[in-house]
Amino acid sequence: YFITGESKKSIMHSPFLEKLASKDMEVIFMVDPLDEYITQQLKDYGEKKLLCITKENLELGEQDNKDEFESMKKEYEGVCKLFKEVLDGNVEKVILSNRLDKSPCVLVTNEYGMTANMQRIMKAQALRGNDMGMNMNKNIMELNPYNKTIQTIKAKMSVEEEVRTVRDLIHMLYDITLLSSGMSLEDPVSFSNRMIKLINIGLGVDNDEEDEVVQN
């Protein structure tokens, strides 16, 4: 198993490592830009197959709670559907994850697509084409059904009074997960506005009143 990134510091606390760490499995850190190009072609070394832990269809050996997880897939179909609806255009699909231990969700790339680190490298290339952004693959969002945040969304998604809050929370989770998955924010202004709303809630400030003050 391996993970690529800008530096060891930037990936050593990555959510992609959670389940592997809990299973005491070794992961190679690849932090040289050249590693991205090498791993695109080098699929195995000796008798060892190289597996990128930030891509879809990750196999972590025999799953401990396989039957329970399969049951949860049906139970959380509505949650996955809601996430896909709210984030439509930003994600290819939303599924349950078996690679997370604590984090609520993570964004993975297509098995044959570019990793988040490779996308960062390509975006930084001075001579890249102007249409480079059009070639970036959509990401796949994986949800952790054992996380309390995801469980709370499931419990509140059918409550009419909570619908707006739940949708805002999904957008916030997406933005936060972009960062924790090694990607860049697509809309920093909207992210900042949601963070300010969250801060106001913590301070007991009425967001509607705050909006009126800003508009005046």
Residues 13-55 pLDDT 10s: 999 999 999 889 999 999 998 888 888 888 888 888 999 999 9
Tell me what pLDDT residue 79 has.
Answer: 97
Q: Please, which residues have CB within 8 angstroms of residue 86's CB and are 6 or more apart in sequence?
A: 167, 170, 171
Confidence label for 213 from pLDDT (cuts 50, 70 and 90)? very low
Give percent above pLDDT 90 in the chain. Answer: 47
65-85 pLDDT, tens digit each:
788 888 999 999 999 999 999
CA 32 – CA 44 distance, rounded (Å): 18
In whole angstroms, give the CA distance from residue 27 to residue 140. Answer: 22
Q: What is the CA radius of gyration of the chain?
A: 19
Query: From CA 194, how far away is CA 158, in angstroms rounded?
Result: 22
Distance CA 35, CA 16 (A): 18
Which residues are CB-contacts of 96 (< 8 A; sequence separation ≥ 6)?
A: 69, 72, 73, 76, 80, 142, 143, 144, 145
Q: Which one, of 200, 201, 150, lies nearest residue 174 by Cα?
A: 150
102 pLDDT above the threshold of 80: yes
Q: Which two three-digit tokens encode residue 119?
A: 């996308």
For residue 141, the 8-state DSSP code is: E
Global pTM value: 0.83
Alpha-carbon span 183 to 172, nearest angstrom? 15
**143-164 confidence digits (pLDDT tens):** 999 999 999 999 999 998 888 8
How many angstroms separate the CA atoms of 166 and 188, rounded?
20
User: What is the average pLDDT across 204-208?
Assistant: 74
Query: Over the chain, what is the mean pLDDT?
Result: 85
Task: Give residue 211's pLDDT band: very low, low, confident or very high (50, 70, 90).
Answer: low
Query: Is-contact 54 109, C-beta < 8 A?
Result: yes
- pLDDT band for 214, please (50, 70, 90 cuts): very low
DSSP 52: B
What does the pLDDT read at residue 127?
54
**Residues 125-146, mean pLDDT to the nearest whole number:** 70
The 10 Å Cβ neighbour count of residue 97 is 25
Q: Which pLDDT score is estimated for 165? A: 86
pLDDT of residue 57: 87
Residue 140 belongs to what H/E stretch?
Answer: strand 139-143
